[in-house]
Amino acid sequence: MWVWSKLAALKWEDAWEERFYGNRNAVLTRLKGGRSVRVDVYCEEEGEAVDIAAQFGGSVKEVADRNWAAFSAVPGPPIKIRDSLLLTAEVTPSKLRELLLLNEGRVVVSIPPEMAFGTGDHPTTAACLRFLADEARARKGGRWRVLDLGCGSGVLAIAANLLGAEECEALDFDRKAVEIARHNVERNGAQEVRVEEADLREWRVERQYEVVVANLFADVLQASFGKIRRTLGPGSAFILSGVLREQWTETEEAARTAGLAFEIVNKKGKWVSAKGGVD
């Protein structure tokens, strides 16, 4: 395994966090004295680390192998979303049964920390899950299909399917994420979730969905709004997250230009999430 590292002034901490947002193997450490941060990105291949160095400077060195799962995150307590979902890193069947019994009425989604973004603990994922829980309640008994753009661990599509959505489609351009998401689909017994490797920059819209969810960087979102608009029909909902406060005005403008409008905009900490549809 290889690690790329770079020292940066503390004032750039947010910018670095955003740059590697979605990469579970990126670690920001505030250094003693509190005026600088070290950014480390752990890579399986030397080439990946060298590519980062070519783009941002810094140094590359080889490190002893680690247990990725243990490294990615220390599993926190289960996360409750509205009164309908419980996200847990737990995978042991007996422990999952116990959680189900203790949380009657909630759907339990098991997503252990691995090399794909989306265990539910990040505020942007939790924001999408809250919107999805609300959509599930509003669409109960009806037929709704879901498209999850930038699915990472698959958490959103899996939760949507277990909450009643049918035919969930989940896309990511990261092969590892696709592999992990497929495993998570199986692990959770989600029957109708199809995970595909696709880069949104090249992906072509083939059909429409009742709910489209995208937890992505603002630049990827903005570039995808035209396609996203075409995935939505009358009455469809579009959920987005992953936009930093300071990027919201330009993101909303780009959405409006593409024919999208938002009826709910939540600003929480430094993140903005929103729900809307066709203008």
Q: Considering the rule CB under 6 A, would residue 219 count as an interface residue with ligand SAM?
A: no
Which residues have a Cβ under 8 Å from the Cβ of 122 and sit 6 or more positions away?
Answer: none
Binding residues with ligand SAM: total (CB under 6 A) = 22
Three-state DSSP at 161 gives: helix
Q: Considering the rule CB under 6 A, would residue 155 count as an interface residue with ligand SAM?
A: yes
Dist CA 238 CA 137 (whole Å): 16
Stretch of 5-13, 139-147, 172-180, 185-193 contacting ligand SAM, by CB under 6 A: 172-180
CA 133 to chain centroid? 16
Three-state DSSP at 113 gives: coil
At its nearest, how many Å lie between ligand SAM and the CB of residue 156? 5
Annotate each residue in 173-192 with x if it binds ligand SAM (CB under 6 A) or - if it does not, as one string.
xx--x---------------
Question: Pick from 26, 27, 205, 220: which binds ligand SAM (CB under 6 A)?
Answer: 220
At its nearest, how many Å lie between ligand SAM and the CB of residue 5? 22
CA 26 to chain centroid? 15
Three-state DSSP at 196 gives: strand
* Core vs surface per residue 215-237: b (16+ CB within 10 A) or e: bbbbebbbebbebbbebbeeebb
Nearer to ligand SAM, 140 or 201 (CB): 201
Dist CA 189 CA 166 (whole Å): 13
Q: Please report, as residue ranges, which positions from 74 to 113 form the binding site for ligand SAM (by CB under 6 A).
A: none
Dist CA 71 CA 7 (whole Å): 21
At its nearest, how many Å lie between ligand SAM and the CB of residue 39? 18
Annotate each residue in 223-262 with x if it binds ligand SAM (CB under 6 A) or - if it does not, as one string.
-------------------x--------------------
**Mapped to the 3 state alphabet, what secondary structure does 101-138 carry?**
HHCCCCEEEECCCECECCCCCCHHHHHHHHHHHHHHHH
Question: Pick from 200, 211, 244, 255: which binds ligand SAM (CB under 6 A)?
Answer: 200
| Whole-angstrom Cα Rg for the chain | 19
Question: Pick from 196, 199, 219, 246: which binds ligand SAM (CB under 6 A)?
Answer: 199
- Which residues sit at the interface with ligand SAM, rule CB under 6 A? 22, 117-118, 125, 128, 150-152, 155-156, 171-174, 177, 199-201, 215-216, 220, 242
